[in-house]
Amino acid sequence: MAAQERRVPLVNFNKEYREVGDEIRQAIDRVCESGWYVLGEEVKSFEREFAEYIGVDHAIGVASGTDAITLALKALGIKEGDGVVVPANVYPSAFGVALAGATLQLADVDPRTLNINLETLKEAVNQNTRAVLAVHLYGNPVDLEGIANFCKENHIALVEDCAQVTGAFYQGRRVGSFGDAACFSFYPTKNLGAYGDGGMVATNSGDVARKVKLWRMYGEEARYQSKLIGHNSRLDEMQAAILRAKLKYVDKWNQRRREIAQKYKQGFSGLPLEVLSSSETSQPVYHLFVVKTKDRDGFSDYLKRQGVATGIHYPQPIHLTESFLGLGKKTGDFPVSEEASATVLSLPLYPQMSEADVGYVIKTVKHYFTF
């Protein structure tokens, strides 16, 4: 193929801002006029609206998705040295677990979805296991049924990492309503992204909700009445106001993501390119469109030359990441996660992508494998 015909980025925030800018500016203005910037009416309203959207009783805004994981685990009573199962192939999730003081118990993943499944979970569990962090990776719900039953039978807490999956359904219910707690991230690239950092813990347990609130601000029950040495992890009013405006668009945007994913799947069929699968009882939201290919470097270099941006989520499994070498695991311990880190590639997918962009990505990918 000759010269670049167009440039397709991985995400495009400018296009999104052009779509919803009026409402964003109104939200920001409302906060500025109120003169109240941290934990006020916007956060309260967003917590209520988000809980209703997910279909849970409580939602508590925090400073990030990482903090959501740490605070949810602490609220569930996880303490220093307790075992928490976490997938070996998901970079960001491991930090929230480690910062709760828990001992990471890495689980390998299903090669077809790159999510944990009941078998890989069982291999990771031992007597010390107190919680499982089920990460719904790339927007694709974990097959939760067997996992939820297993956790219940063994008195293990189930926490969902929903950072990449806001709005998805599993067996007719929104993901995030199945676990003892669910953790969301509003990092800008996520399906519901803030204009900065933010996170949320969703739960049906009044007790967990109350404790997350303690942990998010100095352990305070009332101002200066500290019951435990808590964090300072709050969602600010500006982000909450922006997120309220964007929450109205998430379902529409997720629908567009599914359309694009469908076009990619059709366009790539027959190519030596493995597309991940999802369960029949779920409705994924394609946070990322990830393919697996042996010649990743050659493929991504070619796409780059043709103007198509790509990403790698994630280039290293947890046990081979320097900060987690203390877990004492080695190459070969989690083969599917290791293979994934060497073969996964994320292609551009965002709601404002034009038909021409989608067509260009398909044409470029096909061209690489055909010539």
Ligand X SMILES: *Cc1c(COP(=O)(O)O)cnc(C)c1O
Q: How far is the CB of 99 from ligand X (least distance, A)?
A: 10
Q: Rule CB under 6 A: say whether 90 interacts with ligand X.
A: yes
What residues form DSSP beta bridges with 305?
none
Exactly one of 93, 166, 279, 293 binds ligand X (CB under 6 A); which one?
A: 93
Considering the complex, state which of residue 90 and residue 250 has its C-beta at the smaller distance from ligand X. 90
Residue nearest ligand X by beta-carbon distance: 65
The answer to whether residue 187 forms part of the interface with ligand X (CB under 6 A) is yes
Residue 187 or 286: which CB sits closer to ligand X?
Answer: 187
Stretch that binds ligand X, among 161-169, 293-301, 345-353, 355-363 (CB under 6 A): 161-169
Residues 119-138 that bind ligand X (CB under 6 A): 135
| 314/369 with CB nearer ligand X | 314
Q: Judged by CB under 6 A, does residue 42 bind ligand X?
A: no
List 61, 176, 179, 199, residue binding ligand X (CB under 6 A): 199
How many angstroms separate the CA atoms of 161 and 175, rounded?
Answer: 10
Q: Which helix (H) or strand (E) holds 135?
A: strand 129-135
Q: Is 65 in the site for ligand X (CB under 6 A)?
A: yes
Number of H helices, E strands in the chain: 12, 15
Which of 47, 161, 237, 357 binds ligand X (CB under 6 A)? It is 161
How many residues in total does the chain contain?
371
Give DSSP secondary structure letters for 74-133.
Answer: HHTT--TT-EEEEETT-HHHHHHHHHTTPEEEEE---TTTSS--HHHHHHH--TTEEEEE
Extended beta strands in the chain, E state: 58-62, 83-87, 103-107, 129-135, 157-161, 169-170, 173-174, 181-185, 199-203, 220-222, 225-226, 274-275, 282-283, 289-292, 344-347
The least distance separating ligand X from the CB of residue 266, rounded to whole angstroms, comes to: 27
CA distance 11 to 176: 25
Closer residue to ligand X (CB): 346 or 364:
346
CA distance 267 to 359: 9
Judged by CB under 6 A, does residue 113 bind ligand X?
A: no
CA 21 to chain centre: 25
Residue type, 230: G
- Answer yes or no whether residue 100 interacts with ligand X by CB under 6 A: no
Q: Binding-site residue total for ligand X (CB under 6 A)?
A: 14
Instruction: Please identify, using beta-carbon distances, which residue of 170 and 187 lies nearer to ligand X.
Output: 187
Q: Is 160 in the site for ligand X (CB under 6 A)?
A: no
Q: What is the binding site for ligand X (CB under 6 A)?
A: 64-66, 90, 92-93, 135, 161, 163-164, 185, 187, 197, 199
